[in-house]
Amino acid sequence: MSIQVPLTRRSFLRSCALATGAAAGVLGGPGRLLAWTAAPADDDTPGEAVRKVLSGLFGDRPLRRGHVELTLPENAPDGRTVPVFLESDLPMEPGNYVKALHLLVDKNPDIHLAAFYFTPASGKASIDTRIKMRATSWVRAIAETSRGELWYASFKVFPASNGCG
Amino acid sequence: MHARATHPIGEAKILLPPGIQRDSLIYVRTLISHPMDTGFFKDHAGKPIPAHFIDAVTVTYGGEEVARFTWTSGISRDPFLTFPLRATREAPLAVTWRDNRGGVYRQSVDVAFS
């Protein structure tokens, strides 16, 4: 059994105004709302845990964007098996080659998910595999050259299910 | 939610592309059956499933190491991996997978030119 309240135009408008006011209040006004929705979308600034992993791997060497291709589905239906492709276009010559491709997932229990080490005999630094993802997270690919340079790419993935338990 | 493997652990395949030419860049596909258990899941009886995953993979070509991979349990079960190789000579290509419980699994194929 439900209680019927007659909904007039006036009461409807009043409740709408109240709801909008409440929402604006919570989020601190329209300006704040915009900042809140727009900023994080492409901001891949690493959190503290990820920074710790990065400095453990590379010290304070600078990371530059580029020379790594990182391909994943933006929406992964199954977090247990997310296809990932990473490849570098840098040369593979003796004395100047991509020594390693590192794969990091910010929100996974093991942030540094895998490292793939190559030699000039590989002919190319490239990997195609499938990974587990626990939650919506930035995925990072870092190419480390034999000369110690670091190149990176990042991509945000939204898995529909948890693959890590 | 945790389907058990239908293949015995360590059953591995290496697939080379057809028609390999000398000095061409080839992509080698590998597949191995392994649970890659993280240690975070429980079985149906509520007992924790201990961590059991491949953590080291080495690739040799004519006996020389050409690539090496270090993994965590973040690689999906029954790991599938494609990696590149410059086919400079006719020689065996061998892959060795090692897991955190001492399991060692090996597979090899012969790179031959056509």
**Cβ contacts (< 8 Å) between A88 and chain B: which residues?**
none
Q: For A164, which of B40, B84, B86 is closest by C-beta distance?
A: B40
Question: Quick one: average pLDDT of A28-47?
Answer: 58
**Cβ contacts (< 8 Å) between B65 and chain A: which residues?**
119
The per-residue pLDDT for B46 is: 92
Distances (CA, A) of B7 to B4, B10, B11, B21, B33: 9, 8, 7, 34, 6
- Asked if B66 lies within 8 A of A113 by C-beta distance, the reply is no
Residues 6 or more apart whose Cβ sits within 8 Å of residue A63: A54, A142, A150, A151, A152
Q: What is the ipTM of this complex?
A: 0.93
Residues of chain B above pLDDT 90, percent: 88
pLDDT digits (tens, 9 = 90+) for B53-66: 999 999 999 999 99
List residues of A whose CB lies inside 8 A of any B CB.
Answer: 80-82, 92, 105, 108-110, 112-132, 163-165
Q: For A130, which of B40, B80, B85 is closest by C-beta distance?
A: B80
Q: How confident is the model at residue A43 (pLDDT cuts 50, 70, 90)?
A: confident
Q: Which residue of B has its CA nearest to A128?
A: B82
How far, in Å, CA of B22 to CA of A29, rounded? 66
pLDDT digits (tens, 9 = 90+) for B37-51: 999 888 899 999 999
- What is the nearest CA distance from A43 to chain B, expressed in angstroms? 24
Per the CB < 8 A criterion, the answer to whether B57 and B10 are in contact is no
Q: What phi and psi, each to the nearest 5 degrees, are found at residue A27?
A: -90, 0
- Asked if A123 lies within 8 A of B71 by C-beta distance, the reply is no
Identify the three-state secondary structure at position A8.
coil
The per-residue pLDDT for A162 is: 78
**Cβ contacts (< 8 Å) between A124 and chain B: which residues?**
25, 84, 86
Q: How confident is the model at residue A13 (pLDDT cuts 50, 70, 90)?
A: low
- What is the nearest CA distance from B10 to chain A, expressed in angstroms? 17
pLDDT digits (tens, 9 = 90+) for A122-132: 999 999 999 99
